[in-house]
Amino acid sequence: MSLKIRRADWFIGDLEHYAACYQSEASWEVAQRYLCAVSTTLARLADMPGLGRPARFSAPVLRDFRLYPVE
């Protein structure tokens, strides 16, 4: 069973910003590969939410956050 991934407005804005940067600095194909990699990584995290290492933030509200790279 996969978890539902929630995407905040700021996440979508960041994603669009970085895709636009990749497009202007490289090509649309590079931007598209980036967007596909993010989508694949999010799907993997939905299936296996324990992936990644603990973030170790000092704020209690962020205590359970984990870090995982876009592949």
Give the other-Cβ count within 10 Å of 35's Cβ: 15
**Residue 48: predicted pLDDT:** 95
Q: What is the full per-residue pLDDT of the chain (71 aa) written as tens digits?
A: 788 988 999 999 999 999 999 999 999 999 999 999 999 999 999 999 999 999 999 999 999 999 999 98
pTM over cut 0.75 = yes
- Which residue type, as a one-letter code, is found at position 16? E
Let me know the angle formed at the C-alpha of 51 by 50 and 54, rounded to the nearest 5 degrees.
Answer: 80
Whole-number pLDDT of residue 39 = 96
| pLDDT of the residue at 71 | 86
Q: Which residues of 8-32 are buried (b: 16+ CB within 10 A; e: fewer)?
A: eeeeeeeeeeebeebeeeeeeeebe
